[in-house]
Structure 1
Amino acid sequence: MATAPSGTLVQALAEVRDLLLGPDLVRATASGARRGQAPAVLKATLRPVTLKAGDRLQLVTEDGQRPTTVNLAPGDEAAARVDELLAEPFASWVVETGHGSLRLQATKKGAVLHRGAAVAPPAGTGHDRAKEHLIDPGDPLYDVIGGDAAKRRQVDAFLRALAATLPDPEQLPRPLHVVDLGCGNAYLTFAAYRYLSGQGVDVRLTGVDIRPDQRERNTALARRLGWEEHVTFVAGSIADAPVDTADVVLALHACDTATDDALARAITWDARWILAAPCCHKDISRQLRKRPPQGAYAMLTEHGILRERFADVLTDTVRAALLRRHGYAVEVVEFIDSAHTPRNAMIRARRTGAAPAADPDLDSLLDQWHIHPHLATLLTDPS
């Protein structure tokens, strides 16, 4: 791949614009943020498609919750939307065409352009009503882990959250160390490896579960898939499992304070990215039951079902605040539609490098509700 010298960002974006609106576009992706700026969306992907209504430029944007797709008519509509995207402060553009590929990386002085070989168009762009999957439903992975429609939907929802959290593959460390804490039967663990390795990422993935029989079962599945050199499993608790480091920490459906154990372990490792989908939230609910709030706030916890739902919100609010206190940018998003499971929140965190800092608002919240979060205790937090 050839690298062009630095040029002005305006000139580089003009070249990108010509490719995006040209006849040979295969696919283009904008992602990342320039220093001190934030685009309106996390990622934008463009590609030509052929629909019953004719040729269109399909735009998929990801805001951290769910993708949004629009199909733009050629001409003024497509050009106007492309110009809006180019005005966003994305850190990089990767454009693939039938004649070559171009990667734009924004710098302090302007931009650097990397040029590569041509990319063959996908076989067919027509897809009226066709649903895209990050892992094809016919992939051999599902022959090993099982895969009814509900499981495939959950896998796809998880992978979209993972894709929206991580930067482009070329910006990831090599190898990328991923640890799944409380992996259980590991079908999402295997899905994460299948997806990331399919994106060209050099992945080393470790699944942790307290049960030795799960380690043996999952190890056998990794061997059956031919992944045993890159996907390994250990038996142990989340807090004490023999794992030294992680770039990405997954904790999916870890029950009650097991999610706190996973978040604390991730912070101890200085993990760059964290995805946690909590399950039940019993700890704070018990504390609210033993010491209910006074005055008007007592109505929030008077009834058991309302107390449990409020405890869910309060628990994850505190977890997000504690992660921010320890140098992470945090989002709490919907993991999968509530029709699939009511436990559908996901905490996504990205390490910013900021030093741990006091948070008076969090301290006030904890004092007001008379709660002592398990995560704060694990982190030896003064609160």
Structure 2
Amino acid sequence: MPVSDLTAALADVRALLLAPDDLVRAVAAGRRRGVEPPAAERVEVRPVALRAGPHLQLVSRTGPVVSTVNAPLGERAAAAVDDLLAQPFGNFHVETSSQVLQLRVTKRGEAQVHRSATSRRAVQAGPQAHDRTKQRLVDPDDPLFRVLGAGGDKRRQVDAFVRQLAPLAPRALDAAAGRELRAVDLGCGNAYLTFAAHRWLAGRAGEDGAALRTVGVDVRPDVVERSERLAGEAGLAGLSFAVGSIVDADPFDGAAPDVVLALHACDTATDDALARAVRWGSPVVLAAPCCHRDVQRQIAGARAGDGLGGGRGGAGEPLVRHPILRERFADVLTDALRALVLQVLGYRVEVVEFVDSRHTPRNALLRAVRTGGPRPEHLAELDALRAQWGVEPVLARRLAPQLDAVRALA
């Protein structure tokens, strides 16, 4: 992809953001090399129609903290956009009624800009567009969906997932500079999202002149055979499938993958996948957990002892007294513990909703990006949460040597 002057490229982005009748949405994410990180991890911009009139809305996210600024069109909106563009974000994604612009800041501080036509036939933009049909990053008419036999719900899940992957893709491409980009889906199952991730990543890797190789791993030979056949029918070069377990997966013959996916792997299979990604040192990890039975069982056992912040009748007891509440709380607790383990071991983690719960009740997604060295400051939070609820998360057991090494540094 050709490079251009960053100042001029950001001026183009500014013009698009300040054309509210044409703007659909924009996202600023990632960080530039060698500078302090932006004030927020991610900022989404879109025009909105409020009772006070048309505004530009900027939603900033840092971990679980979300803040919203609604700037009236005019000087205040322009000032908000200028403040945003002054932040050292590494990637900008701008969708308008006619085009999609993607800007990535290179290691040298230059801009790589890609423009493509908006794929939808009709797009509503501007502040009045609250009820518009969302632009799809993977075209709903893509022949891939016909090959997979995917209906409307699956297509929406695919698009929602790709939207979560998109801001992290530049980090993976940077890690793969000068070689092929490697992605693996551990416990891929029917592989709808494996196919979609490969389709979308292939386009991004191609822009950078890099090849892409994606491997889906599953223990069921019939599932792998079916996915191999469908990959051939869809004409997806570089996509393959292998029979194997998550624990023993080695899809690239000793080389570490740049992107690790684990989507709806049941119970502790998600922990196996996260542990595998950490041991590989993979820079980008996306995991959509499924059931959380292990922690549920531990909580049930702790209720008979002295756990739960004081045992039966303690402060935590009302949260887990009823089975349905215990099940839901175990989901939250498990993913909170997983996030803390990953943070201790050097990942920036977001736990987000990746698709509306109408389409699947298992709609949480852990997005993790490797940022460098370990973060011992999170050990106290991890230890306190484990002690309070009398549980030992599987991911902490899988990565005990790594956690012990960080503990020795603290």
Please classify the TM superposition score into its range, dividing by the shorter chain length.
0.7 to 0.9
Over 3 Å counting, the alpha-carbon distance change for 1:272 and 1:87 in structure 2 is same
Structure 1 residue 355 displacement after superposition: 3.1
The alpha carbon displacement at 1:167 in A equals: 2.8
Q: Which amino acid aligns with 1:247?
A: D
Partner of 1:230: 238
Residue aligning to 1:133: 136
Quick one: distance in 1 between partners of 2:118 and 2:356?
30
Q: Report the Cα distance in structure 1 between the residues aligned to 2:204 and 2:43, rounded to whole angstroms.
A: 16
Q: What whole-Å deviation, never above 9, does each CA across 1:96-129 have from its counterpart, x for those lacking one? A: 999xx9968488xxx8445889x67658775263
2:289 paired with 1:287: no
| Alpha carbons of structure 1 residues 197 and 62: separation in structure 2 relative to 1, 3 Å | farther
- Matching residue within 215, 218, 222 for 1:213: 222
CA deviation map 1:49-77 (0-9, x unaligned): xxxxxxx9998868489x99999998656
Q: Which runs of 5+ in 1 are unaligned?
A: 48-55
Equivalences for residues 49-64 of structure 1 within 5 A: 63=61
Which of residues 136, 146, 150 is equivalent to 2:153? 150
Structure 1 residue 138, shift from structure 2 partner: 0.8
Identity %: 47
Counterparts in 2 of 1:301-316, with a 5 A limit?
301-316=320-335
Structure-2 residue corresponding to 1:53: none
Moved more, 12-21 or 84-93: 12-21
State the distance in 1 between where 2:163 and 2:363 align: 14
* Mapped partners of 2:321, 2:389: distance in 1: 14
Partner of 1:187: 192
Answer yes or no: is the 8 Å Cα contact 1:92–1:106 preserved in 2: no
| AA aligned opposite 2:40 | A
Aligned counterpart for 1:369 among listed residues 367, 375, 389: 389
Aligned: 1:261 with 2:234: no
1:148 to partner: Cα distance: 1.2
Note if 1:360 corresponds to 2:358: no
What CA RMSD, in Å, does the superposition of the two structures yield over aligned residues?
4.1
Alpha-carbon distance, 1:87 to partner: 3.4
Q: Residue deviations 1:210-237, cap 9 Å, x none? A: 001111111111111122x400111011
**TM-score normalised by L of structure 2:** 0.74
Distance 1:301 1:45 in 2: 39
Q: Cα distance, 1:366 vs. partner?
A: 1.4
Q: Go from structure 1 to structure 2 and tell me whether the alpha carbon gap of 1:340 and 1:122 turns closer, same or farther (over 3 Å shift).
A: closer
Report the CA distance shift for 1:286/1:141 in structure 2 as closer, same or farther (over 3 A): same
Written as runs of structure 1 = structure 2, the 5 A alignment for 1:43-54 is none
Q: Distance in 1 between matches of 2:352 and 2:367?
A: 8
In structure 2, relative to structure 1, the CA distance for the partners of 1:75 and 1:280 (3 Å cut) is same
CA deviation vs aligned residue, 1:112-171 (integer Å, no higher than 9, x gap):
445889x67658775263331111111100111112111111111111111133337864
By how many angstroms is 1:38 displaced?
2.1
Using the alignment, how far apart are the partners of 1:362 and 1:298 within structure 2?
A: 20
Residue 166 in structure 1 maps to residue 175 in structure 2: no
Q: Is 1:203 matched up with 2:233?
A: no
Is the helix fraction higher in 1 or 2?
2
Aligned with 1:166: secondary structure? helix
Q: Is the contact made by 1:12 and 1:113 (CA closer than 8 Å) also made in structure 2? A: no
Secondary structure in 2 matching 1:274: strand
Q: After superposition, give the CA deviation of every residue in 1:260-319 in whole Å (9 maximum; x if it has no partner).
A: 000010011101011111110000111111221312322222221111111111111111
- Cα distance in 1, alignment partners of residues 116 and 192 from structure 2: 32
- Equivalent pair of 1:58/1:69 in contact (CA under 8 Å): no
Whether the 8 Å contact between 2:261 and 2:286 is mirrored in structure 1 is yes
Q: What SS does structure 2 have at the residue aligned with 1:275?
A: strand
2:272 and 2:333 mapped to 1: Cα distance? Answer: 17
The 1:30/1:361 distance shift into structure 2, 3 A limit, reads closer
Q: How has the CA–CA distance of structure 1 residues 116 and 73 changed in structure 2, closer, same or farther, with 3 Å as cutoff?
A: same
Of 352, 357, 361, which aligns to 1:338?
357
Which residue is equivalent to 2:51? none
The worse-fitting range, judged by mean Cα deviation, of 280-289 and 302-311 is: 302-311
Please identify, of 151-160 and 68-77, the stretch whose mean Cα deviation from structure 2 is larger. Answer: 68-77
- State how far apart, in whole Å, the 1-side matches of 2:345 and 2:155 are: 34
For 1:20-31, what aligned pairs fall within 5 Å after superposition? 30-31=28-29
The 2-side partners of 1:246 and 1:186 are apart by 18
Q: 1:113 to 1:260 in 2, by over 3 A?
A: closer
Structure 1 residue 300 corresponds to structure 2 residue 319: yes
Q: Distance in 2 between the 1:156 and 1:192 partners?
A: 10
Displacement after TM superposition at 1:356 (Å): 6.1
Determine the C-alpha separation between the residues in 2 that align with 1:340 and 1:106: 37
